[in-house]
A and B are shown apart, each in its own frame.
Chain A
Amino acid sequence: MLVVSVYRYNPEKDSAPYMQEFRVDTKGADLMVLDVLHLVKEQDNTFAYRRSCREGVCGSDGMNMNGKNGLACITALSEVVTEDTLVIRPLPGLPVIRDLVVDMSLFYKQYERIKPYLLNDTPAPAIERLQAPEDRDKLDGLYECILCACCSTSCPSFWWNPDKFVGPSGLLQAYRFLVDSRDTQTRERLSELDDPFSVFRCRGIMNCVNVCPKGLNPTKAIGHIRDMLLRNAT
Chain B
Amino acid sequence: MVTNVTNFSRNGLSDWLLQRFSAVVLGLYSVFIVGYMVISFDGSYEQWSAFFESTFVRVFTFLSILSIAAHAWIGLWTISTDYIKPTAIRFVFQTVCNLALFTYVVWGVQVLWGA
Interface residues, chain A, with chain B CB atoms under 8 Å away: 156-157, 160-161, 164, 191-201, 226, 229-230, 233
Contact = CB atoms under 8 A, between A and B. Distances in A.
Contacts of A156: 82
A196 B83 CA distance: 15
B38 interface: no
- Residue from the set A164, A200, A201 with the largest chain B CB neighbour count within 10 Å: A200
Contacts of A200: 12-13, 15-16
Contacts of A226: 13, 16
B98 interface: no
Contacts of B13: 194, 200, 226, 229-230, 233
Interface in B1-21: 1-4, 7, 11-13, 15-17
Interface of B: 1-4, 7, 11-13, 15-17, 77-78, 81-83
Contacts of A198: 1-2, 12
A195 B81 contact: no
Nearest to A233: B13
A196 B17 contact: no
Given A200-B13, A226-B16, A233-B13, A195 B82 contact: no
Contacts of B1: 191-195, 198
Nearest to B85: A160
A195 B3 contact: yes
The secondary structure that dominates the A interface is loop
A35 B1 CA distance: 42
A161 B16 CA distance: 18
Contact of B2 (A197, A229, A233): A197
B12 A161 contact: no
Contacts of B15: 196, 200
Name which of B2, B4, B7, B77 has the most chain A CB atoms within 10 A of its CB: B2
Nearest to B14: A233
Contacts of A164: 2
| Pairs A-B, 3 closest by C-beta atoms | A200-B12, A196-B12, A160-B82
Nearest to A200: B12
B82 A161 contact: yes
Nearest to B16: A200
